[in-house]
């Protein structure tokens, strides 16, 4: 029972440094959040010691009395958090992450080489939605299945549903995937359902980014329209790092061929081994919190903060992809300023602001993203309100002015020259202090 600081001071120190970094920096990565002390306690508990392959009441190991209680409670809370009737929906809470949840869902729904359509990665989709380039199949979701991505309109930044419908006529997908990693607008679920129905295809929503907002009623619920809904648990939902798969149940269905049987089989034994019970406990705690009135208030504040930030940036004349946001993130197009997302990301990092470069609509190549993605969920968890995000917007405006100056001083468009010219820049040092 030696504490970590004595048993392994090296690791203890790295953890302390990371904790301080998280505290000291302005965290604007749209996929991150600060989970609660209670979630972290559950996540770091003795539950990590237990093997429990199988499902509650049907395990391959003994000693699972309490683990069964835990997993059943987590399932119940997951359905409650999204206001789902247990007669109509079930859930598997074992996926280790969003990516494994998605691969298990594809394994449940498709045969090898079946056809799927998801939002392309440069348009804001996730790798696991069938990502491939012209030259290479990148994700297992395009290696084991045939993928034809759909895209956003390069002018508006909004999903081109007409084009999707036309291409679906040619490709005849067996699965249509919606949901995204970098899309600031809500989805047209009725239209997506109609396109899926035209081809007797399944409709899967990966609501990873927005699941906290969905739980709080701050985004349209995909459950009314979809057969399967997957999510990560650590973004706007504010839990530990993991995934969930919700599946629709149908009255009178054959239990062996039901989505429930196929999803559960796909998670274990097809794609995973023993569940991470400590994580499941953390998810259960987060789901209880997500069902509280405080969480609804949090989700409302996340959206209000995004609006305040968007208004500040557009007030300075900047261009946002799709013109604004319905959710917790904005995509800031820096092409009009002649800057790349990589350069802005770097200057932000020097000034203790954390965000990430991102493709924005109209980019010629995904290799040099023309903008950055900014999310408000993490800083909202730290109590930031609209006026704080106006200040964040002002810091970001200063970042652009500095980046512009550094680029001119470097006399080059190359990132390495830009970084060399940024060294020792006093305005960056001043901004770091102000942040």
Known catalytic residues are: 51, 53, 206, 232, 235, 241
The pair of structure tokens assigned to 313 is 């940036």
3-class secondary-structure state, position 243? strand
DSSP state of 150: B
Strand order in the sheet with 371-375: 319-320, 329-333, 371-375, 356-358
Rounded-to-integer distance, Cα 391 and Cα 308, Å: 10
66 alpha-carbon distance from chain centroid: 31
| Least Å from the CB of residue 401 to ligand PLP | 30
For strands 353-354 and 26-27, give the pairing. parallel
Rounded-to-integer distance, Cα 269 and Cα 59, Å: 12
Instruction: Point out which span in 91-99, 158-166, 347-355, 419-427 binds ligand PLP (CB under 6 A).
Output: 91-99
* Binding residues for ligand PLP, total number by CB under 6 A: 15
Sign of the alpha-carbon dihedral angle for 166, 168, 169, 171: positive
Q: Are 175 and 202 in contact (CB under 8 A)?
A: yes
Does 359 contact ligand PLP by CB under 6 A? no
Instruction: Point out which span in 206-214, 279-287, 325-333, 383-391 binds ligand PLP (CB under 6 A).
Output: 206-214
The site map against ligand PLP for 285-324 (x = CB under 6 A) is ----------------------------------------
From candidates 71, 120, 206, 218, binder to ligand PLP by CB under 6 A:
206
| Least Å from the CB of residue 332 to ligand PLP | 18
Does 232 contact ligand PLP by CB under 6 A? yes
φ, ψ of residue 275 in degrees (nearest 5): -65, 150
Sign of the alpha-carbon dihedral angle for 272, 135, 336, 407: positive
Nearer to ligand PLP (CB atom), residue 29 or residue 296: 29
| Least Å from the CB of residue 181 to ligand PLP | 3
Nearest to 219 by CA among 169, 184, 172: 184
Nearer to ligand PLP (CB atom), residue 240 or residue 393: 240
Does 31 contact ligand PLP by CB under 6 A? yes
Does 99 contact ligand PLP by CB under 6 A? yes
Rounded-to-integer distance, Cα 103 and Cα 263, Å: 10
Instruction: Point out which span in 104-112, 131-139, 179-187, 294-302 binds ligand PLP (CB under 6 A).
Output: 179-187
The overall longest dimension of the chain from CA atoms, in Å, is 71
| Least Å from the CB of residue 374 to ligand PLP | 15
350 alpha-carbon distance from chain centroid: 25
From candidates 97, 132, 279, 305, binder to ligand PLP by CB under 6 A:
97
| Least Å from the CB of residue 187 to ligand PLP | 12
Rounded-to-integer distance, Cα 304 and Cα 385, Å: 8
200: left (phi over 0), alpha (psi -120 to 50) or beta: left
Residues 6+ apart with CB under 8 A from 323: 156, 157
Rounded-to-integer distance, Cα 368 and Cα 365, Å: 6
Instruction: Point out which span in 185-193, 201-209, 277-285, 329-337 binds ligand PLP (CB under 6 A).
Output: 201-209
Q: Using CB atoms, what's the residue nearest to ligand PLP?
A: 98
The site map against ligand PLP for 119-148 (x = CB under 6 A) is -------x-x--------------------
Nearer to ligand PLP (CB atom), residue 232 or residue 407: 232
| Least Å from the CB of residue 77 to ligand PLP | 20
Nearer to ligand PLP (CB atom), residue 175 or residue 308: 175
**Footprint on this chain of ligand PLP (rule: CB under 6 A):** 31, 97-99, 102, 126, 128, 179-181, 206, 208-209, 232, 241
């Amino acid at each position: 029972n030696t504490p970590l600081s004595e048993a392994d001071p090296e690791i203890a120190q790295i953890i302390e440094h990371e904790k301080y970094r998280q505290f000291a920096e302005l965290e604007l990565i749209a996929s991150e959040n600060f989970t609660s002390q209670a979630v972290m306690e559950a996540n770091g508990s003795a539950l990590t010691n237990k093997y429990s392959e199988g499902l509650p009441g049907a395990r391959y190991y003994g000693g699972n009395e309490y683990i069964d209680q835990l997993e059943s409670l987590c399932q119940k809370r997951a359905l409650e958090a999204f206001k789902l009737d247990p007669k109509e929906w079930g859930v598997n809470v074992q996926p280790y992450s969003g990516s494994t949840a998605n691969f298990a869902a594809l394994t449940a729904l498709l045969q090898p080489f079946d056809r799927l359509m998801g939002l392309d990665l440069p348009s804001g989709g996730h790798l696991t939605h069938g990502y491939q380039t012209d030259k290479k199949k990148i994700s297992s979701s395009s290696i084991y299945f045939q993928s034809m991505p759909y895209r956003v309109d390069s002018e508006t930044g909004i999903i081109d549903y007409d084009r999707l419908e036309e291409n679906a006529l040619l490709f005849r997908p067996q699965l249509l995937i919606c949901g995204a990693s970098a899309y600031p607008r809500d989805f047209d679920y009725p239209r997506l359902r109609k396109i899926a129905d035209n081809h007797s295809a399944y409709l899967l929503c990966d609501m990873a980014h927005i699941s906290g907002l969905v739980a709080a009623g701050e985004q349209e619920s995909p459950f009314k329209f979809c057969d399967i809904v997957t999510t990560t648990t650590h973004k706007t939902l504010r839990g530990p790092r993991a995934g969930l798969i919700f599946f629709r149940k149908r009255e009178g269905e054959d239990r062996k061929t039901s989505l429930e049987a196929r999803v559960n089989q796909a998670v274990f034994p097809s794609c995973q081994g023993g569940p991470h019970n400590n994580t499941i406990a953390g998810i259960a705690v987060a789901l209880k919190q997500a069902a509280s009135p405080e969480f609804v208030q949090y989700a409302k504040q996340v959206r209000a903060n995004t609006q305040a930030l968007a208004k500040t940036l557009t007030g300075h004349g900047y261009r946002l992809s799709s013109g604004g946001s319905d959710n917790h993130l904005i995509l800031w197009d820096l092409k009009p300023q002649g800057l790349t997302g990589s350069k802005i990301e770097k200057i932000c990092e020097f000034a203790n602001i954390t965000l990430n470069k991102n493709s924005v609509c109209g980019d010629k190549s995904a290799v040099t993203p023309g903008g950055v993605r900014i999310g408000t969920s993490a800083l909202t968890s730290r109590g930031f309100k609209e006026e704080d995000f106006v200040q964040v917007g002002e810091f970001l405006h200063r970042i652009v002015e500095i980046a512009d100056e550094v680029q001119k001083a470097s006399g080059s468009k190359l990132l390495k020259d830009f970084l060399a010219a940024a060294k020792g820049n006093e305005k960056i040092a001043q901004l770091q202090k102000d942040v």
